[in-house]
Structure 1
Amino acid sequence: MTDFADFFVDQAAASSHVQFIYDVAADRVTFVNEAYEKALNGRCAHVNEELPALLARLHPDDRAYLIHYCKLWVRGQVSDEIEVRLQQPGQPDQWFCLTPHHQATNGRVLIGGVLRDISVAKRHQQNADNFSSRKNAALEILSHDLSGAFGIVQQVAQYLTEEVTVPANSRVGDMLRVLENTSRSSLKMIRDLVNMEFLSSANTDLKRDRVEVGTVLRAPLDELQRGQGTLGHAFEYSLPTEPLYVNLDVNKITQVLANLVSNAFKFTPDGKRVAVAVEPCPGCVRIRVIDEGIGIPAALQPQLFERFTKARRQGLRGEQTTGLGLALCKFIVEWHGGTISVDSAEGVGTTFTVEIPQAESEIAAL
């Protein structure tokens, strides 16, 4: 047994991640490896004296979260990893991922685990999420703008074909048919491209992180606001005034948001408003996408979230739809344990409401 103990001590000493053991009854750290000194700028021999100052560096929004987690940890009721932030004066927060362990023997409770610095990975993930948000917003706006233009060209070509008398031996008729067919195929290609991107992303594995919803949604909403502004559309949004933490797959939820906003503009006349409101509600976060558009007939509303729904309609500017978008939104939202609903009246407008549960520890801390 001593050989095994020596092996694990040597392995911990060689690790680049912080490994520790804490005696709950004694209220002391009984073991910490040398990685502690590099990762947290402490001294192993003085870890217990340094622990209060280290805990004081916890991000304020993570303290209640960690307290709730620790209560379960001491009882041996957690096995999931947890991510927390440590503040550094004048520098970005340090992100750490804790892999927990619990042992209870002869009435003695020990908790411990591995603490990994994931700050670089977090920054890379944030950059990737921001890039994805910009890509999704650009795709939706580009498809909306181009679809509208090609739709108009197709309608003009159809009108000229029906109304203009073409002289004998003229190629005008053939050219109008080419113009109409090219516009129609271009519209289909654009929508297929956007739907393919949405489908491929929706079918990837769900990766949820505890995030502050206002922080992660501000960037994609800014992108949507800038993009829609360049098209001359009125778009505005509001975010919670206080931090609100939810377990989200940020990329997938921003796709849902972009899809709902794009749909809203399809059925909202020029000069009318589309808005997004992100707000807290008991035990969840609520996202409302509100438009002043033409509304949805009551007979179509029960079928909206079905795959390849018969409720699909052509947009006001000729935009086509496959009937998959809202079904995928529903799938992603329910994947998060949430709900999506619609409230609409013809001639008045439509509101889509998404509700996603807050993280369990956030609710317990209220």
Structure 2
Amino acid sequence: MAEIRNDIFFKMGSSASDAYFIFDIQQSSFTYVNDAFTILFNCLENSINIKQLWSAVHDEDKDHLQSCYEELLADGGTKKYVFRILSVDETVKYLKCSAYFDQEHNEIYGVLDDFTTAQENKTHIEQINGRKNVTLEVLSHDLKEPLGMIKMAVSSMENKIGRVAEEEFKDSLQFIADVCERNLKLIRSMVNHEFLKSSVVAIKRERVDLIWELKDVVRFYKRSHLREIRNFTFSSGQEKIFMFLDSMKFMQVVNNLISNAIKFTSFGGNIEVNAEDRGETVVVSVSDNGIGIPEKIKEKLFQNEKSVLRQGLNGEESGGLGMSIIKDIVDLHHGRIWLVSEQGIGTTFYIELPKQ
């Protein structure tokens, strides 16, 4: 029976990305580890050194792990523990250990799940939420006075309707417009800063239907008021394309490209999103028939430089962070991004991503 159980465990371990092991209590040695285990601890299957593995455990977690080990032996059954290790390059890894103590054979069966990315994301998200609260406090404080001034100006204009000259009304309207513009710049600056900070969160890939995700984005624009001034289309030769990606971050990329296309495309212009399956990779493109991009800007477009900033056709401001963030997210997916653009004809951005 034990041989059958071990055989099943071995088969599971041979194809798993998690680290599988069997530890013999009496011999104080590992009788089985899978490939993922050796990769995690940077060791060879036939030369696993207990002291070496123990030295990899984070100093702050050693007492905790020792007490977990003693608890498992005392209680038996299945337990779950969390601890940290230091990899060869001194980076911290967070591990979840699901362990079962087989008292009859005096062996521990265990599975180690490396959830470092999820833990780091959680930490980053907590930091971002903290900054968000500070941002909202600053905005609520700094916007309170100008909004009050606008309210007073509007109230004064209402009271003077029919009793003041047109020039005075124009001055009041210009005052309101100036106050709004200054504070819109404040909001835009703070939002861009937080957007840049949030891009450092590591990606978390999940299996998604890319076609459905892209159609959903285009559907949003078709339902918005923008459908009256731009033509949005989606095309693909496939009904479904399944791949692994961080859909939230990648759709952020697509939205940013569409947003830029809107800024530099005239009323009635065309914006198309396309997805092409190339076997091991997928190419997503966002095209427009707008004003195009000058050669001198193309070279530095994906760099965070103010020299590439330019206003949209209707005077829309650019924070200058969008394209550099787009490239960062594409790089995190081990993909590449490039563009083809001709002034007066239009621009197409291409993103090629691996499916796995």
2:200 matched residue in structure 1: 203
The code of the aligned residue for 2:185 comes to K
- What secondary structure is seen at the aligned counterpart in 2 of 1:303? coil
Pick closer, same or farther for the CA change 1:208–1:71 going to 2, 3 Å.
closer
Instruction: Kindly report which structure 2 residues correspond to 1:96-135, keeping only aligned pairs within 5 A, or say none.
Output: none
- Name the CA distance, whole Å, in 1 between partners of 2:222 and 2:110: 44
Query: Does 1:251 pair with 2:248?
Result: yes
Asked whether the 8 Å contact 1:247–1:358 carries over to 2, the reply is yes
The code of the aligned residue for 2:259 comes to S
Pick closer, same or farther for the CA change 1:100–1:339 going to 2, 3 Å.
farther
The match for 1:343 among 333, 340, 343 is: 340
The match for 1:330 among 327, 332, 335 is: 327
- Name the CA distance, whole Å, in 1 between partners of 2:193 and 2:317: 14
TM-score (norm 2): 0.53
Offset of residue 239 of structure 1 = 4.0
Pick closer, same or farther for the CA change 1:240–1:252 going to 2, 3 Å.
farther
1:264 matched residue in structure 2: 261
- What secondary structure is seen at the aligned counterpart in 2 of 1:343? strand
- Name the CA distance, whole Å, in 2 between partners of 1:194 and 1:71: 38
Pick closer, same or farther for the CA change 1:303–1:179 going to 2, 3 Å.
same
- Name the CA distance, whole Å, in 1 between partners of 2:239 and 2:215: 14
Offset of residue 175 of structure 1 = 2.2
Asked whether the 8 Å contact 1:313–1:320 carries over to 2, the reply is yes
- Name the CA distance, whole Å, in 2 between partners of 1:180 and 1:70: 61
Asked whether the 8 Å contact 1:339–1:355 carries over to 2, the reply is yes
Pick closer, same or farther for the CA change 1:353–1:30 going to 2, 3 Å.
closer
2:149 matched residue in structure 1: none
- What secondary structure is seen at the aligned counterpart in 2 of 1:257? helix
TM-score (norm 1): 0.51
Pick closer, same or farther for the CA change 1:21–1:306 going to 2, 3 Å.
farther
Pick closer, same or farther for the CA change 1:176–1:207 going to 2, 3 Å.
same
Give the fraction of aligned pairs with identical amino acids, expressed as a percent.
34
The code of the aligned residue for 1:338 comes to G
1:238 matched residue in structure 2: 235
Pick closer, same or farther for the CA change 1:69–1:287 going to 2, 3 Å.
farther
Query: Does 1:289 pair with 2:286?
Result: yes
1:215 matched residue in structure 2: 212
Offset of residue 284 of structure 1 = 1.1
1:317 matched residue in structure 2: 314
Offset of residue 213 of structure 1 = 1.9
Pick closer, same or farther for the CA change 1:273–1:194 going to 2, 3 Å.
farther
* Structure 2 unpaired stretches of 5+: 21-32, 40-95, 99-108, 114-163
Q: Between Structure 1 and Structure 2, whose CA radius of gyration is higher?
A: 2
- Name the CA distance, whole Å, in 1 between partners of 2:247 and 2:310: 29
Asked whether the 8 Å contact 1:278–1:285 carries over to 2, the reply is yes
Offset of residue 340 of structure 1 = 1.0
CA RMSD of aligned residues (A): 4.0
- Name the CA distance, whole Å, in 1 between partners of 2:224 and 2:15: 41
- Name the CA distance, whole Å, in 2 between partners of 1:296 and 1:30: 58
Asked whether the 8 Å contact 1:314–1:320 carries over to 2, the reply is yes
The match for 2:175 among 175, 178, 183 is: 178
Offset of residue 297 of structure 1 = 0.9
Pick closer, same or farther for the CA change 1:242–1:70 going to 2, 3 Å.
farther
Cα offsets for 1:324-350 (capped at 9, x unmatched)? 100100011101111111110000000
1:132 matched residue in structure 2: none
Asked whether the 8 Å contact 1:21–1:113 carries over to 2, the reply is no
Pick closer, same or farther for the CA change 1:69–1:344 going to 2, 3 Å.
farther
Instruction: Kindly report which structure 2 residues correspond to 1:84-95, keeping only aligned pairs within 5 A, or say none.
Output: none
Offset of residue 319 of structure 1 = 0.7
Cα offsets for 1:233-275 (capped at 9, x unmatched)? 2101124515433221111101001000000000000111001
Asked whether the 8 Å contact 1:191–1:320 carries over to 2, the reply is no
- What secondary structure is seen at the aligned counterpart in 1 of 2:319? coil
Query: Does 1:274 pair with 2:271?
Result: yes
- Name the CA distance, whole Å, in 1 between partners of 2:110 and 2:243: 25
- Name the CA distance, whole Å, in 2 between partners of 1:236 and 1:293: 15
- Name the CA distance, whole Å, in 1 between partners of 2:6 and 2:229: 60
Asked whether the 8 Å contact 2:290–2:344 carries over to 1, the reply is yes
Asked whether the 8 Å contact 2:218–2:232 carries over to 1, the reply is no
Asked whether the 8 Å contact 1:343–1:350 carries over to 2, the reply is yes
Count how many residue pairs are aligned between Structure 1 and Structure 2.
224
Instruction: Kindly report which structure 2 residues correspond to 1:136-151, keeping only aligned pairs within 5 A, or say none.
Output: none
Cα offsets for 1:18-69 (capped at 9, x unmatched)? xx9562xxxxx489xxxxxxxxxxxxxxxxxxxxxxxxxxxxxxxxxx9x95
Asked whether the 8 Å contact 2:221–2:227 carries over to 1, the reply is no
